[in-house]
Structure 1
Amino acid sequence: MSAQPEPALLHSEEEEALRAAVRDLLTDHCDPAGVIARSESAAVHDVPLWKALSDAMGLAGLLIPEELGGQGASHRETAVVLEELGRAVAPVPYLTSAVVATEALLACGADDLLGELASAATVAALAVGLHVAPGGAFASVRLEDGTLHGELTGIADASAADVLLVPADDGGLYAVRTADATVVPQVSLDLTRPVARVALDGATGRRLGEAGPAVRRALRTGAGLLASEQLGLADWLLTETVRHLKERRQFNRRVGGFQALKHRLARLWLEIAGLRAAARNAADALATGADTDIAVAVAQAHAARVAVRAAEEALQLHGGIGMTWEHPVHLYLKRAKADSIAYGTAGAHREALAALVDLPAP
């Protein structure tokens, strides 16, 4: 009898090795206390951690072809990295630069900038609001006499970027050095992924290509792989909550022994198992190009609710300690809530999914 092929959605040995390496690095350099301290400072982004991930491990170039200095890997490996970064709520611009901006540059064929990103010499950010869904309308700036003018708001990780990828009203996508723009921080619920207002007043930019296809590709990939980050958040929250309930005692009994709490955790585990399947399917669809729009819409229609529910359950079941600023649960809750509107709300993705499968509204 011939051996059965391995199911495509299972992680390969190489992917599991990548996961272990990233988790080890984050364990050593991204502990919860350090993330909390950094979130309270002006320097939110962890530059040494980013250099370790992007330069030492080469993860900034995972999606970039080898001939441009990247790793030539697929979205499956990138999803593994994002899951681990989500588990640590790592304050690094990986999703925004190594995924979203990279996909926009790949769509435009900007080989020189891709080489800079792969070598970790440059961080890029797509100057489209973090809330915009794939295929949604996005703001642009004015092109007047060859220079760019206008403001764009809600740009994630703009403060960490060296290059901004800016849509203009002529339909083009322009590369603008951040030094030629004014980046003003905005209030962000998620303390580990800051957003900013970008103002351009006569900035010069290099036209890379058509903004429409590039932005749509970038946002679709961002939405699909965001589900892996949300999976990492939810998985860490469940693991830590179970650990806490095994240690906490009430009425001389371990709290984790109460049947009602066991049922709540079991339901949450099942929801996270569903999210794991949806997130993995989205990553695989992005890698293979099979039913990509449907897989991304399914993943994001499900991911936000599960991640937020996991954070809310963790906050409640940790009791008083979970409400303190010293405990990291609040970082996960804020990231989960912010992620729930990033690259489109669950409702927007459900509407997109209904259109894709020709399912009319009741």
Structure 2
Amino acid sequence: MDVSLSEDQRLIGESVRGYLAEHAGPEQLRKAVEDGQAFAPSLWRGLTQDLGLVGLMAPEALGGAGLGARDMALVLEALGEHLAPAPFFETAVLALPALLALGRPDQVERWAAPLVAGERRACLAFADAQGRPDLDALEAQLTTTPTGWRLDGRSRFVSGLPASDLVLVVARHPDEGLSLLALPLPAAGVTALSVPSLDPTRPMGELAFDAVEVSADDIVGAAGQARKALHDVLATAAALLAAEAVGVAQACLDMTLAYVQERKQFGRTIGSFQAVKHALADMVADIEAARSAALYGVLAIDQGGPDASAAASASLAWCLDAAKRCAGQAIQLHGGVGFTWEHLAHLYFKRAWSNATFLGAPERHREHVAARMGLDATAPSSEPH
């Protein structure tokens, strides 16, 4: 199999990196964090309306490009390198695929088309009270009423919520199973709360539901039929989050290389010290292995098959650990300045560690792989979500 990039894929990567270098550089990132911006509107318009990236995996009939996970991985790696302050992952990788997988034609036109056009921003509420993507432990509950359904409870750790005007809520019904609800914000009975998060470049929120009236039009697709589609969406998201983690690790290496070639001690640049060279070599080895793992994951998703979810979990577990190691090493090699708020190193460290809980911890994904291979009879579930 030829896994080299096509000319079109090279152009995707180059165009995204070129745009982000101009519009999402260190100064823009620092300003967004200091201002507490959930997203930069001008950057969002560029990513969606100018570059058309949200719809990269959406069908052409909807205004998308009809491409695959590998193409989207090029975008996510670049976004990871820049920590771009925009709810792109939440909209393009989580919400939009869920709508496309479950939505009726009228619902796709109503909710998905505006996402592809960059006219709306959306998030997917799928985490339990501990922040895990455990679809069997959700607090959002549906009950049947004479006119439809009622939604109560909470959705916690909702990434991208502060910047979203459409939220897709995964809710449980005691008899019917899992359903996906589309709720434009604001909505009667829905309270959106901002909550402190580890990563200021990926803000999170919490939703509280108090006797929210739910009609058949609010349920994406058929009631109680969302489980399989959501598993597939989260598997694809895992493979793409692995690509983002590679971008985070690469940025840590790039900023560290630039620093050690300028910083001097004892009359020499610290990059000439053997211990520093060894640490940098470890980072390079981590990143190269992670890039291969991420490629394995997205290729498995594009090809489909019964082991695609396990491949995505394997790639994500590897890449998350690599990103954490590289982010920690970057702070160490920057010395005292690496521990300061003014330096960007802490933002990459926080993204690396927050990613390690976003779609399930690496340990949970390794358990999923082990269970698929028949190696771990004690694994709590055959799926990491």
Shared fold by TM > 0.5? yes
Q: What is the CA deviation profile of residues 273-320 of structure 1, one whole-angstrom value per residue up to 9, with x for unaligned ones?
A: 110001011111111214312211211221111101101110010112
Whole-angstrom CA distance in 1 between matches of 2:113 and 2:38: 26
The equivalent residue for 1:172 is 179
Whole-angstrom CA distance in 1 between matches of 2:136 and 2:342: 38
Which runs of 5 or more structure 2 residues have no equivalent in the other structure? 379-385
Percent identity at matched positions? 35
Is the counterpart of residue 99 in structure 1 residue 114 in structure 2?
Answer: no
Q: 1:360 to 1:151 in 2, by over 3 A?
A: closer
Is the counterpart of residue 24 in structure 1 residue 40 in structure 2?
Answer: no
- Conserved? CA contact 1:84–1:229, under 8 Å: yes
Is the counterpart of residue 111 in structure 1 residue 108 in structure 2?
Answer: yes
The equivalent residue for 1:280 is 295
The equivalent residue for 2:209 is 200
- Conserved? CA contact 2:139–2:153, under 8 Å: no
The equivalent residue for 1:292 is 308
SS of residue in 1 equivalent to 2:155: strand
Q: Determine which of 172, 185, 194 is the counterpart of 2:194.
A: 185
Structure 1 residue 361: Cα displacement: 6.5
Whole-angstrom CA distance in 1 between matches of 2:52 and 2:243: 20
Q: What is the CA deviation profile of residues 94-141 of structure 1, one whole-angstrom value per residue up to 9, with x for unaligned ones?
A: 111101112211220342222121111221111112843477643323
SS of residue in 2 equivalent to 1:208: coil
The equivalent residue for 2:382 is none
SS of residue in 1 equivalent to 2:261: helix
- Conserved? CA contact 1:85–1:232, under 8 Å: yes
The equivalent residue for 1:315 is 331
The equivalent residue for 1:3 is none
Structure 1 residue 187: Cα displacement: 0.9
Letter in 2 for 1:207: I
Q: Determine which of 25, 41, 45 is the counterpart of 1:51.
A: 45
Q: Determine which of 273, 294, 302 is the counterpart of 2:318.
A: 302
Q: 1:55 to 1:134 in 2, by over 3 A?
A: farther
Is the counterpart of residue 335 in structure 1 residue 335 in structure 2?
Answer: no
The equivalent residue for 1:355 is 371
The equivalent residue for 1:140 is 140
Is the counterpart of residue 156 in structure 1 residue 159 in structure 2?
Answer: yes
Give the alignment of 1:245-284 within 5 angstroms: 245-284=260-299
Whole-angstrom CA distance in 2 between matches of 1:247 and 1:42: 31
TM-score with structure 1 setting the length = 0.93
Whole-angstrom CA distance in 2 between matches of 1:343 and 1:134: 9
The equivalent residue for 1:128 is 126
SS of residue in 2 equivalent to 1:341: helix
Q: 1:52 to 1:204 in 2, by over 3 A?
A: farther
Whole-angstrom CA distance in 1 between matches of 2:36 and 2:82: 20
Q: What is the CA deviation profile of residues 209-243 of structure 1, one whole-angstrom value per residue up to 9, with x for unaligned ones?
A: 32312321221111111000000000111111112
The equivalent residue for 1:235 is 250
The equivalent residue for 1:70 is 64
Q: RMSD across aligned C-alpha pairs, in angstroms?
A: 1.8
Q: 1:220 to 1:139 in 2, by over 3 A?
A: farther
Letter in 1 for 2:152: H
Whole-angstrom CA distance in 1 between matches of 2:212 and 2:316: 36
Whole-angstrom CA distance in 1 between matches of 2:134 and 2:18: 33
Q: What is the CA deviation profile of residues 5-50 of structure 1, one whole-angstrom value per residue up to 9, with x for unaligned ones?
A: xx43322211111111111111111111221221122323112101
Structure 1 residue 93: Cα displacement: 0.8
The equivalent residue for 1:34 is 28
Is the counterpart of residue 217 in structure 1 residue 238 in structure 2?
Answer: no
Q: 1:106 to 1:142 in 2, by over 3 A?
A: same
Q: Which structure ranks higher in relative contact order (CA pairs < 8 Å, sequence separation ≥ 6)?
A: 1
SS of residue in 2 equivalent to 1:152: strand
Structure 1 residue 357: Cα displacement: 1.0
Q: 1:83 to 1:147 in 2, by over 3 A?
A: same
SS of residue in 1 equivalent to 2:169: strand
Letter in 2 for 1:25: Y
Structure 1 residue 182: Cα displacement: 1.7
Q: Determine which of 55, 74, 78 is the counterpart of 1:80.
A: 74
Structure 1 residue 144: Cα displacement: 5.2
Whole-angstrom CA distance in 2 between matches of 1:61 and 1:308: 30
TM-score with structure 2 setting the length = 0.88
